[in-house]
A = this chain, B = another copy of it.
Amino acid sequence: MLIAQVSEKYGLSADTLRYYERIGLLPHITRTPGGIRDYSEEDCHWVEHIKCMRSAGVSIETLVEYVSLFYQGDSTIQQRKQLLLAQRQQIVDRIDELNQALLKLDCKIEGYEEHMLKREEKLR
């Protein structure tokens, strides 16, 4: 798969895909004899995973670490699992923060609604 197609498929710019490769987040992308990137299915799965984790706010640094552990082989399985568990906890915490913000927003919005009703009463 060419970079333009991967870009289209996952909604990441070609520049971003090249950037990810450069910093070690997507290593080992094979090339055609002409030097052009040819993304395998496995590469695509990595792209999808990275995209999903990025959208959940996982830092690039953390993802690079995970990928690096992955390519070091089976001896890092325990470490990788720990890393994923830490990520998981972070996301759970984030969700909690978002829910708190949601509650506050709902209060405020309700406040506005009441306020607007009162103004309507006055106009009558």
Contact = CB atoms under 8 A, between A and B. Distances in A.
Interface in A1-38: none
A65 interface: no
Interface in A74-105: 77-78, 80-81, 84-85, 87-88, 91-92, 94-95, 97-102, 104-105
A109 B85 contact: yes
Quickly give the copy total for this chain.
2
A61 to B, nearest CB: 17
Contacts of A87: 105
Contact of A104 (B52, B78, B100, B102): B52
A79 B113 CA distance: 12
Contacts of A124: none
